Structure 1
Amino acid sequence: MFASGDGGAVSTVIENLLLRKQKLVEQLEKAPSVEDRDRIEHQLEQINTALDFLDRPGPREGR
């Protein structure tokens, strides 16, 4: 998938990541075991890393 000039594809990816993050946070609150919490926290870290990467201005922005 390639981002169009308006960044529509990137916006969709970010929206999906934010929805997934919200669901994981809800699961984290209900996680019965340390292993479950660790797994969820690891996934949250990956999502946060992806969001940070996608939120960076690209080389074309600002020109």
Structure 2
Amino acid sequence: MRKDIPDGQEPSASTNIPTRGTGDGGLVSTVIENLLARKQKLVEQLETAQTVEDRDRIEHQLEQINTALDFLDRPGSKGGR
């Protein structure tokens, strides 16, 4: 069982990002690991959120994290400036 996905949650495409061997000194993998850790915490908070406002705020943050993970997973985005 993966530690970055809570029980009962399906892994999304963004959680299958390779985090090693990118040739960038580990910067991208560190950013991805931090984003995945934050995502896991937000999913846990979402499960216990009691108000619609809290759920909306958490879901918005999750969307931002997923967008960042998608961006980092694009070909050419790994140190390609």
Deviation track 1:6-50 (CA, whole Å, cap 9, x = no partner) reads 131000000000000000000000001000000000000000000
TM-score (norm 2): 0.65
From the two aligned structures, give the one with the greater helix fraction: 1
Structure 1: 4+ residue segments shifted above 6 A:
none
Q: Of 9, 12, 23, which residue of structure 2 is paired with 1:6?
A: 23
AA matched with 1:30? T
Structure number with bigger Rg: 1
CA contact (8 A) 2:28 2:72 kept: yes
Aligned to 2:54: 36
Report the CA distance between 1:59 and its aligned residue.
Answer: 6.7
- CA RMSD, aligned part only? 1.7
Q: What code does the residue aligned with 2:42 have?
A: L
What count of residue pairs does the alignment treat as equivalent?
56
Identity %: 82
In the superposition, relative to structure 1, how do residues 41 and 6 fare at CA in structure 2: closer, same or farther (>3 Å)?
same
